Structure 1
Amino acid sequence: MNIKSLLLGSAAALAAVSGAQAADAIVAAEPEPLEYVRVCDAFGAGFFYIPGSETCLKIGGYVRFQTNIGRDASNGGTPSATSTSDWDSFTRAQLEIDTRSDTEFGALRGFIGLRGDADSSSSRGVNVDQAFIEIGGLKVGYYYNWWDDGLSGETDDLAAGTTRFNSIRYTYTAGAAYAGVAVDELEGVARPGETDNNVGIEAIVGGKFGPAAVALLGGYDTDQSEGAVRIIATADLGPGTLGLAGVWASGPNAYYDTSEWAVAVEYAVKVTDKFKITPGFQYYDSLKNAAGTDFGDNNAWKAGLTFDYQLAKNLSAKASVQYLDPDNASESWSGYLRLQRAF
């Protein structure tokens, strides 16, 4: 048998074994169709459709670097034997996830805000800043209440220290006017003689009328049986915006507890498209006593100046200086420098 006969025989044997498979056609799998990200303009700028759904998504937030200046600033302004520095720097990271979609009941919104502050050589961790569900005028979850709103500067002090609660609220809007009511779980604001899990009720009416806006707000702490009422009004006037506010409380409560009543005024002057100066003033009558149970006889006043400058798109700088002069106590200076990049 020569080499030629051997090769021919091997080829014939291979063909006999694999002949059936050779007849089958090789079919390549079709590639999955690509779905490009679509812009969603129904809810404002920055939203896009989540691929494969009709839900719109927006991702935003900011990075902030800030240096606080003032007496015992490194301890939040509270005197301490172990922390007496009059300046303190920290960095904040804020991430916000906003989802929207249309339903038969109106726009459905889900919002998550995550915040982390880094101070000294260690991080304080990441916490939930806000998380809520909103549909139509109904809003439920953990979020800032109406008392968190204030004037645009940094001088006004028109709410208690805690303005975030787990809440249920409903807001009715008719054109430029609105009215709302809310029920808050007042957890984390316990006062002498009360437990740390109470109920508060808020109600608000307001609206925008041409160049002016006004909001009348009330809050009632059911455990303390005390309440507070506040009004804020703003109006475009000349080269800036004039802001006026007044607040009264029947006694220290979860919504306002600094003084029996107070008035505040500011004028935000827009010097250029990028630069704004806001002087402000507030007067407090009958400050809270040392025990925090009632209002006393001491008064105080506060004056400040805030500068805002837009360095570039989404990059802003802010500087604020404040002076506080209370009766029968030492006056104090405080302020901060801030650089913030939003996205």
Structure 2
Amino acid sequence: MTIKRLLLGVSASLLAASGAHAADAVIASEPEPLEYVQICQGYGTGYFLIPGTETCLKVGGKVRAEAQWYDPYDPTSDFGTLRRDRAELYVDTGTDTEYGALKTNAILRWEWEEGQSTTEKLLFANISLGGFTVGKLDSQFISYTDYAGNVANDDVIYDGPYELNQMTYAYDAGNGFTAMLSLEDSNSSDNATYFGDEDRAATHDWVTSKEDHYSPDFVAGLGYKSDAWGLKLVGGYDSLVEEGAIKARLDMAFGEFKVFFMGGWNTDGDKLNKYAGTNLSGSACPDDRTDCGWGDWALWTGFTAPITDKLSGNAQFAYTDTKIFAATANLQWTPVKDFMLQPEVSYTNWDAINNDQWSGLLRAERVF
């Protein structure tokens, strides 16, 4: 009996201990509170607060696929169908400071063209604070005036340089009046080799060598915008060529119908410069590229006309003192939000060589 009682006692003790552990297992700690993403209201759509920081972030981009027939920039173009694809990633940040919003903007681009490998570039990278912007973006000579028309081939008649380093101050009075001053890198633009190439300097007196050149280019602008119209004036000085250009643009809106008129004046019609240059190529520009420039002046006009709530028509026409005529028209159809289909046709005529070119384009683009 003694052994039996001892075994029963041990068993009872083990069961009690087991029960205690079982009771401990169901005791759970309090759940951690969830942290929800906070939307930033002050910087526009798409910004959210990075958890644990005071910085707002926006990520977006676009994907584009297109096919092109012939080339509106080149009268000698004879290819059938050229296919291109592009992807871009946009990263923007904003942080409130005692000097205003501290912002950054970066755009990365990957592009594939039929018969070539994929290329990539840092399209934009800039910082802005208190009205000042420093870094890489398109020249203020074109961005301040909102480029040209609402068409893909809007710069067949050159309207200014893209993608260059700059230091810019922009002023907004809040009543429609704006002003801008910009110092722009004379060597960083893709277009700089047209007008500051050392090899061309040996044969053309209107081209200056870029070697050991440190002086920046200068751009300034003034503008006013109301609900129904806007007017902007911008001027650029090319320190390499020591010439420049002035552009004026008038925008008018009649309900949803929008129209613009823009004119440019070259300070020396016998020379090309960064702000009155050329994008044309091929036999239209054999040796003397001034045949492809503005001459003394250039004109642009165009319109956007709504057809339905998802379909619009756009057109642009341009003409120069050198008798280059360019016309482009398209339809932009948005069957669903942020997705666009765009067929476009362009015509260019070069009077100097008595030649012309028709071209077409079909583009599909998704932005996000």
Q: Normalised by the size of structure 2, how large is the TM-score?
A: 0.77
Which is strand-richer, 1 or 2?
A: 1
- Cα distance between partner residues in 2 of 1:119 and 1:164: 20
Match of residue 248, structure 1, among 239, 261, 265: 265
Question: 1:50-65 counterparts in 2 under 5 A?
Answer: 50-65=50-65
When residues 50 and 239 of structure 1 are mapped into structure 2, their CA distance, relative to the original with a 3 A threshold, is closer
Work out whether 1:137 is the aligned partner of 2:131.
yes
Count of matched residue positions in the alignment of Structure 1 and Structure 2: 316
Find the counterpart in structure 1 of residue 210 from structure 2. 195
Work out whether 1:342 is the aligned partner of 2:350.
no
When residues 171 and 223 of structure 1 are mapped into structure 2, their CA distance, relative to the original with a 3 A threshold, is same
When residues 122 and 284 of structure 1 are mapped into structure 2, their CA distance, relative to the original with a 3 A threshold, is closer
Conserved? CA contact 1:156–1:282, under 8 Å = no
Find the counterpart in structure 2 of residue 19 from structure 1. none
- Cα distance between partner residues in 2 of 1:78 and 1:7: 105
Find the counterpart in structure 2 of residue 163 from structure 1. 162
Find the counterpart in structure 2 of residue 96 from structure 1. 90
Conserved? CA contact 2:75–2:356, under 8 Å = no
Work out whether 1:152 is the aligned partner of 2:167.
no
Amino acid of the structure 2 residue aligned with 1:255: Y
Moved more, 177-186 or 38-47: 38-47
Conserved? CA contact 2:68–2:361, under 8 Å = yes
- Cα distance between partner residues in 2 of 1:35 and 1:123: 44
Moved more, 119-128 or 244-253: 119-128
Find the counterpart in structure 2 of residue 290 from structure 1. none
- Cα distance between partner residues in 1 of 2:236 and 2:107: 25
Work out whether 1:110 is the aligned partner of 2:135.
no
User: Gapped runs of 5+ residues in structure 2?
Assistant: 15-20, 202-208, 278-292
Work out whether 1:211 is the aligned partner of 2:213.
no
- Cα distance between partner residues in 2 of 1:220 and 1:242: 28
- Cα distance between partner residues in 1 of 2:324 and 2:344: 20
Deviation at 1:41, TM superposition (A): 1.3
When residues 152 and 283 of structure 1 are mapped into structure 2, their CA distance, relative to the original with a 3 A threshold, is closer
Find the counterpart in structure 2 of residue 47 from structure 1. 47
Find the counterpart in structure 2 of residue 259 from structure 1. 294
Deviation at 1:162, TM superposition (A): 3.5
User: Gapped runs of 5+ residues in structure 1?
Assistant: 15-21, 287-298
Match of residue 274, structure 1, among 299, 306, 310: 310
When residues 152 and 142 of structure 1 are mapped into structure 2, their CA distance, relative to the original with a 3 A threshold, is same
Deviation at 1:319, TM superposition (A): 1.9
Conserved? CA contact 1:150–1:232, under 8 Å = no
Deviation at 1:334, TM superposition (A): 1.9
3-state DSSP of counterpart to 2:141: helix
Match of residue 87, structure 1, among 78, 81, 88: 81
Conserved? CA contact 2:70–2:80, under 8 Å = yes
Find the counterpart in structure 1 of residue 320 from structure 2. 284
When residues 38 and 256 of structure 1 are mapped into structure 2, their CA distance, relative to the original with a 3 A threshold, is same
- Cα distance between partner residues in 2 of 1:78 and 1:51: 55
Conserved? CA contact 1:156–1:264, under 8 Å = no
Amino acid of the structure 1 residue aligned with 2:339: L
- Cα distance between partner residues in 1 of 2:70 and 2:86: 20
Find the counterpart in structure 2 of residue 326 from structure 1. 350
When residues 326 and 125 of structure 1 are mapped into structure 2, their CA distance, relative to the original with a 3 A threshold, is closer
Conserved? CA contact 2:149–2:315, under 8 Å = no
- Between the aligned residues of both structures, percent identity stands at 30
Conserved? CA contact 2:134–2:165, under 8 Å = yes
Conserved? CA contact 1:303–1:324, under 8 Å = yes
Deviation at 1:31, TM superposition (A): 5.7
| 1:153-180 deviation digits (Å, cap 9, x = unpaired) | 3364364574111110001111211001
Conserved? CA contact 1:214–1:233, under 8 Å = yes
Conserved? CA contact 2:230–2:250, under 8 Å = yes
Conserved? CA contact 1:147–1:163, under 8 Å = no
Instruction: Indicate the structure whose relative CO is greater, using CA pairs within 8 Å and at least 6 residues apart.
Output: 2
Moved more, 155-164 or 232-241: 155-164
| 1:9-65 deviation digits (Å, cap 9, x = unpaired) | 9x99x9xxxxxxx9xx99987765431111111112211111112211111111111
When residues 268 and 252 of structure 1 are mapped into structure 2, their CA distance, relative to the original with a 3 A threshold, is same
Conserved? CA contact 1:61–1:342, under 8 Å = yes
- Cα distance between partner residues in 2 of 1:30 and 1:114: 44
Deviation at 1:3, TM superposition (A): 9.4
When residues 272 and 217 of structure 1 are mapped into structure 2, their CA distance, relative to the original with a 3 A threshold, is same
3-state DSSP of counterpart to 2:87: strand
Conserved? CA contact 1:270–1:277, under 8 Å = yes
Deviation at 1:254, TM superposition (A): 1.2
Amino acid of the structure 1 residue aligned with 2:294: S
Deviation at 1:110, TM superposition (A): 1.1
Q: Normalised by the size of structure 1, how large is the TM-score?
A: 0.82
